[in-house]
């Protein structure tokens, strides 16, 4: 039923739970899993200080964000491999790190990779337990043309 399953991750527990559900579905359908981590780009619109007072972009910051993204993806891969000994033989797991607004990047990857299903956490790791969906999840739900499974 599903050939490509997308798991957007920020490293939160909800994202790890989404990965577990993805494995169950992927192992039944022999689907491919794409793990996506988005590094939110800094924009001058979010700055409170005048642009002239902001530091120049630093290459080491980007390197650190990429390193953290790779660690987050590796954690999700380890979660997947822990729960699927013997079930992962027919599953291809790929990963992708992109830069941009998280909800826009998720929607873009869904389209570009022709994803059949997106499994994502109800909210991310911003420190607030929300009664409603997280803002990224809520935007993806509103704008998606593909099936979504939201994991609490």
Mean pLDDT (whole number) for 67-93: 85
Across the range 57-71, mean pLDDT stands at 83
Is residue 46 situated within a structural domain? no
pLDDT (average), residues 48-61: 58
Q: What is the pLDDT of residue 130?
A: 45
What is the pTM for the complete model shown?
A: 0.82
State the CATH number of the domain containing residue 146: 3.40.50.620
Nearest partner of 33 among 147, 116, 150, 101, judged by Cα: 116
Average predicted confidence (pLDDT) for the chain: 82
Does 47 map to a domain?
Answer: no
Indicate the number of domains in the chain: 1
Looking at the predicted structure, is the pLDDT value of residue 36 above 70?
yes
Judge whether residue 105 has pLDDT over 70: yes
Q: Note down the domain range covering 68.
A: 4-41+52-151
């Amino acid at each position: 039923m599903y050939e490509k399953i997308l798991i957007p991750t920020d490293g939160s527990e909800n994202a790890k739970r989404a990965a577990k559900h993805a494995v169950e579905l992927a192992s039944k359908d022999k689907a491919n899993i794409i793990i996506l981590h988005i590094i939110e780009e800094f924009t001058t619109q979010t700055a409170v200080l005048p642009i002239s007072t902001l530091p120049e972009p630093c290459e080491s910051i980007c390197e650190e964000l990429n390193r953290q993204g790779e660690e987050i993806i590796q954690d999700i891969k380890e979660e997947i491999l822990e729960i699927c000994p013997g079930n992962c033989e027919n599953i291809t797991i790929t990963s992708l790190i992109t830069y941009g607004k998280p909800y826009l990047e998720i929607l873009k990857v869904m389209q570009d990779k022709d994803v059949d299903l997106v499994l994502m956490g109800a909210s991310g790791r911003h420190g607030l337990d929300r009664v409603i969906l997280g803002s990224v999840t809520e935007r993806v739900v509103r704008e998606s043309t593909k099936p979504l499974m939201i994991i609490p």
